[in-house]
Structure 1
Amino acid sequence: MSAILSADDLNDFISPGVACIKPVETLPAAEPAVPTDNQEDAYEVSFNTEPPPPQADLPPAQISLTDCLACSGCVTSAEAVLVSLQSHAEVLSELDSGPGLRLSADGTRVENLDTGGKLYVASVSPQSRASIAAAYGVTEKEAGYMIDQLLSGPRGLKSRAVYRNGFQWVVDTNITREACLVLGTEEVMASLTAASGNVDDLENGDAKKQPTKPILTSSCPGWICYAEKTHPHILPHLSRLKSPQALMGTLLKTALSRKLGISPDRIWHVAIMPCFDKKLEASREELTDAVWEGTGTRGVRDVDCVITSKELLMLADSRRVDFAKLPRTPIPRRIPFLDPKLDSFLFPTRRATNGNSAAGTSGGNLHYILQYFASQHEGASIQTTRGRNADVLDCSVTSADGETLFKAARYYGFRNIQNLVRRLKPVRPSRMPGGKPIGSARKGGAKANGPDYAYVEVMACPGGCTNGGGQIKVDDPVITGVETSEVNPGPPEQKQWLAKVDEAYFSGEDVFGEDITMEDRHDMVDGISPSYIKDTLAYWAATTGIGLDRLAYTSYREVISDVGKNVGDAERVIEIAGKIGGGW
């Protein structure tokens, strides 16, 4: 790392790791697109379509300390290359690889099925919409419409593409976020009543048992990467639930492949996310069709590519589309999703909000669980206490007579995460007769003396997901109007900018529609109907013929490798991790 950085500057980072968790993956080379004779108005798109050089000749990937809080600490050379392969250029290359599959206006027929083309779908996170909204001075809802217009509209990407390919559907990951909140709450409630905390790893795609109390959030890939590499004792505590990104990928690939009768590799899914680590998550072997199909072979990714909020603007710029001038209204005619029930689930007339400031900007996992638990106990109330800093929050649910019923917490940023994992580390008995147990948590009988939480929401980025490494920054030319090198914002300006993004994140309105009936609304918790969510997920599992345990849950593993331990490898990886300027 740079010698000018002090330890205090890096207290939210992890020391660079040197062990690669997997070999470098390469994506298939895209053939240069050639316009057909009848496409007189086709544009020549200038981006790299040359096949990549042989893997042995690949230069070291560059990744910046400022790009992602998690990657900057634990990125390896293999992961750096893997992340750099997912970019806005890859999206353009895929769209121009050939004529895509198209659906009829009523969504009942597939055209170009024999051409070898693909069906393109996209999902967008609310944090990315908030970043766009703050950058262009619009509401989060309007930012969502602008993204839809770019990916699917007539004035977007396909207006300047060789084959006029665009994304058939653009879905909101808030939909699967709500599903994750409901399933995650079930997981926590089950852990409270479980007789023991035994955990079995996922075998053949089946989630066997509950994680150990306290259950820790698993939707942040930077946190998961850190736990797998450095703190294997944490793995039994991790929630087995997929993240909203991963769950959306599984839903789209399974539903569409089953309904259309095509292979999952003919459905191409891109996710727009606030974090570079989401690229690593999309590349996990546990998140492929091999798991839910039960084939046990190398599978097709549920999420083929992840681009960040900033890369979305680069995507528009590469096609010479002025993002600021895109319509801030819905696309007039949307082709319905192939299944009516799933269509109403993915595109509800009830537009879900991102909650309020109490829920935080990372999905509201902790907030929803507290609300649900309190709703199950008449007269119960929720108390919150700030910890040692703004990124630590202790919460409890107490009964009407003051008895503590449930304890939970929030830990954001690696400085706080390291304190948490130390408290959860099991103690070891001393080998000396009469000696005290060895470990950070010492107590008679060598029992762990960690926090008495039932649930902890853990995120790698201080401030939450709106502060992700892939978000638009305060010194970006989109905001400043000048080159980044001419702007040097200080901490106050950065703090003000993040507050503006957070304000956009919470700007949505909660409008209910006909997709949730009056019968469902009796069990509403924080604007979400658990019965409606469970009914829809059960329908999804039934129509695909795949158990929900394989569709919605995943697994984690301790990473042990000798790769990177040769002389000189450590220095090379540290050099990659410390590069200024990204490889994207």
Structure 2
Amino acid sequence: MSAILSADDLNDFISPGVACIKPIETLPVKPEDGSNPYEVTTEDKAAAAQPPPPASISLTDCLACSGCVTSAEAVLVTLQSHTEVLTTLDTYRSLRAPWQPQNCTDGLTNGHSNGVNGHSHEGRLFVASVSPQSRASLAAVFNVSEAEAGNMISQLLSGPSGLRAGGHQGSDFTWVIDTNVMREACLTAAADEVALALNPNSSKAPTKPGAEGAIDTTPKGPILTSACPGWICYAEKTHPYILPHLSRLKSPQALTGTLVKSVLSRRYNIPPSQVWHVAIMPCFDKKLEASRSELTSSAWSSSPDISQDPVRDVDCVITARELLQLASARGINFSSLPRKPLSTAERIPFPDPKLDAFLFPPSRRRNQDAVAGSSGGYLYHILQTYQAQHPGSSMSVSRGRNADVVEYSLVNGSDTIIRAARFYGFRNIQNLVRRLKPPKASRLPGGKTGVSRKPGAAAEAGVKEYAYVEVMACPGGCTNGGGQVKVTEVENVRVESGLQITNGDVLAPKPGPKEQKEWLARVDEAYFSASESEDNTLDQDADSPMQDVQTNGHDDVVNGISRRKIKDVMDHWSAITGVNTQTLLYTSYRKVESDVGKKVSDMERVAGLAVTVGGGW
């Protein structure tokens, strides 16, 4: 983790736990061969003994522990930083795809040695994905458009004056993917998931006890967004009764990683470990998402290598602030990078025409409208989908108890078609999960089961009437993520970049909450101002498979997203990999249990230690 992260930066933090699930236990050292186990150790020998190595805590360990929640884990670990990106680039050469396989006629490799100079194991295929919120943060800092900020990021990661100009290997990223593309697939799948859950005629298999968050189960209403990893960690560790409500859909970050690893490893006949994927995200908790065991090659690989550990779909996550650290560490002035797209002449096509047209469309995928929010617009797209299916219906929006609680209703005359809500920030989330908690059964003889006598029973009933709830940990949404450039850092970043400070850019001497709110409004402005008409970096043929997405006047197209086209691409992806779409698009969640904070007797502790060292009774 980058040293720039501190507890003061966390806006999704609740409280740390009382202990770690990996306590440091002092175990007796086994005697070496030839030594006397009964020899008395003198004081000078004991002093010369080597101390035990320091305990190391990984992000995966934190995910398996219920001792703390959300960004508390990020303070405890040192992994997934810009330093890891530079170290990996300096260790491995970039594989320049497509290399020429031997005896191959179908576009795929056949098991022969491929890669740089015939030694693919010495290189890596480097791929990056960039979120629109990160681009918006940098756009506000450097007073450029969101599209120009995206071009600057691409120039840093893949351009001639970027990372390839330095380092031991001269490596850079072969592809830089806009996660807005995969977001469209997520939005379409989210609408299908809600329609399936709400359809009374759809067949739903009964959920087995303990499998409430399984990938093959249908969530029950209200369905809660699963794209925010801080919220997911909180639910898994503290409120397992929420698991049946969680959407099983992967986030755009996770879905991009699955597509990149599965397709490239299949097309080039290389192990997934040789595809190295970094994601640039607005939130530190996205590092936790990348460390989940469910989001690895073991979930989708048709022939996993049991001798190798599963490979993460996303190898590393860095934030907008860490991206600036990345450039600075290589002596690159980010503000001086070209703001124009990369040259199309040097672009290497993705190894499948249909996926290449999908991932790199001729025009930049625009962000959602302001009414959809800055977190991907899941809720709004679902409402738009239902609205397209019910001509003449209208959408009403009402603010809740604060600006981060918004209620939506789709009505047709006096009939309410669907109700939904948005809950941002952990204070509001706590109110939400409290209302969803099932009532306890009465222990009195003859008492009724499942009857709530709490004063908030009416409010709970209102929450349970929602079909979908968009839940995000950060107040204000993803543009306010913990990894975004804060108002207190803007001036220093601009001065270090040599930017000319104008009167309109002068900030308060000591920016406070008011200035941070104003700064977030500027970031939101950059996010929502992204235009679909801005040119992207690619040239495509007129008969590109994704050209007719903008068909109007049909409920198949919702806000410019063609459900038919998305489904066609997803089916094509499934055919390439031989993995069903459910496995590719969805994931699972589980209740996190540990002994943290529980009292353990001395006898139980001694017995546990004895078993650890091979003893026991």
TM-score clears 0.5: yes
2:471 aligns with 458
Indicate which of 53, 70, 79 corresponds to 1:56. 53
Indicate which of 108, 116, 121 corresponds to 1:111. 116
Cα distance in structure 2, aligned partners of 1:176 and 1:166: 22
1:216 aligns with 224
Indicate which of 329, 333, 346 corresponds to 1:322. 333
1:550 aligns with 583
Q: Larger Rg: 1 or 2? A: 2
Residues 379-418 of structure 1: matches in 2 within 5 Å? 379-399=392-412, 401-418=413-430
Letter in 1 for 2:80: Q
Residues 61-80 of structure 1: matches in 2 within 5 Å? 74-75=70-71, 80=75
2:139 aligns with 133
Indicate which of 242, 245, 263 corresponds to 1:234. 242
Change (3 A) 1:60 1:237: closer
Q: In the TM superposition, what is the alpha-carbon distance from 1:104 to its structure 2 partner? A: 4.9
Q: In the TM superposition, what is the alpha-carbon distance from 1:524 to its structure 2 partner? A: 1.8
Residues 178-577 of structure 1: matches in 2 within 5 Å? 178-194=184-200, 198-199=206-207, 207-293=215-301, 295=304, 298-332=309-343, 333-399=346-412, 401-433=413-445, 437=451, 450-476=463-489, 477-479=491-493, 481=495, 488-511=510-533, 514=542, 515=544, 516-518=546-548, 521-522=551-552, 523-563=556-596
Most deviating of 340-349 and 558-567: 558-567
Task: Report if the CA contact (8 A) 2:295-2:312 is conserved.
Answer: yes
Task: Report if the CA contact (8 A) 1:279-1:305 is conserved.
Answer: yes
Larger RCO (alpha carbons 8 Å, 6+ apart):
1
The answer on 1:122 being equivalent to 2:128 is yes
Q: In the TM superposition, what is the alpha-carbon distance from 1:510 to its structure 2 partner? A: 1.4
Task: Report if the CA contact (8 A) 1:201-1:208 is conserved.
Answer: no
Cα distance in structure 1, aligned partners of 2:208 and 2:182: 25
Residues 164-175 of structure 1: matches in 2 within 5 Å? 164-175=170-181
Task: Report if the CA contact (8 A) 1:441-1:449 is conserved.
Answer: no
Cα distance in structure 1, aligned partners of 2:246 and 2:562: 25
Q: In the TM superposition, what is the alpha-carbon distance from 1:202 to its structure 2 partner? A: 11
Letter in 2 for 1:238: L
TM-score, with length taken from structure 1: 0.81
Change (3 A) 1:197 1:496: farther
Most deviating of 510-519 and 208-217: 510-519
Change (3 A) 1:508 1:453: same
Indicate which of 93, 97, 104 corresponds to 2:91. 97
Change (3 A) 1:449 1:474: closer
Q: In the TM superposition, what is the alpha-carbon distance from 1:20 to its structure 2 partner? A: 5.1
Cα distance in structure 2, aligned partners of 1:440 and 1:197: 32
2:501 aligns with none
| Number of residue equivalences | 515
Cα distance in structure 2, aligned partners of 1:440 and 1:175: 45
2:17 aligns with 17
Q: In the TM superposition, what is the alpha-carbon distance from 1:76 to its structure 2 partner? A: 5.6
Most deviating of 104-113 and 142-151: 104-113
Task: Report if the CA contact (8 A) 1:197-1:211 is conserved.
Answer: no
Cα distance in structure 2, aligned partners of 1:520 and 1:23: 56
Cα distance in structure 2, aligned partners of 1:130 and 1:22: 39
Cα distance in structure 2, aligned partners of 1:103 and 1:202: 45
Change (3 A) 1:136 1:442: closer
Structure 2, unpaired ranges of 5+: 1-8, 25-50, 60-65, 102-106, 108-113, 498-507, 601-617
- The Cα offsets for residues 532-559 of structure 1, whole Å up to 9 and x where unpaired, read as 1110000000111111111110000011
Q: In the TM superposition, what is the alpha-carbon distance from 1:481 to its structure 2 partner? A: 3.3
Structure 1, unpaired ranges of 5+: 1-8, 25-53, 63-69, 568-584
Task: Report if the CA contact (8 A) 1:101-1:112 is conserved.
Answer: no
Change (3 A) 1:464 1:217: same
Q: In the TM superposition, what is the alpha-carbon distance from 1:97 to its structure 2 partner? A: 0.7
Task: Report if the CA contact (8 A) 1:197-1:213 is conserved.
Answer: no
Percent identity reads: 54
Change (3 A) 1:200 1:350: farther
Task: Report if the CA contact (8 A) 2:12-2:230 is conserved.
Answer: no
Change (3 A) 1:73 1:547: closer
1:158 aligns with 164
- The Cα offsets for residues 371-425 of structure 1, whole Å up to 9 and x where unpaired, read as 11111001111111000000000101001x2210100000000000001001111
1:4 aligns with none
Q: In the TM superposition, what is the alpha-carbon distance from 1:293 to its structure 2 partner? A: 1.8
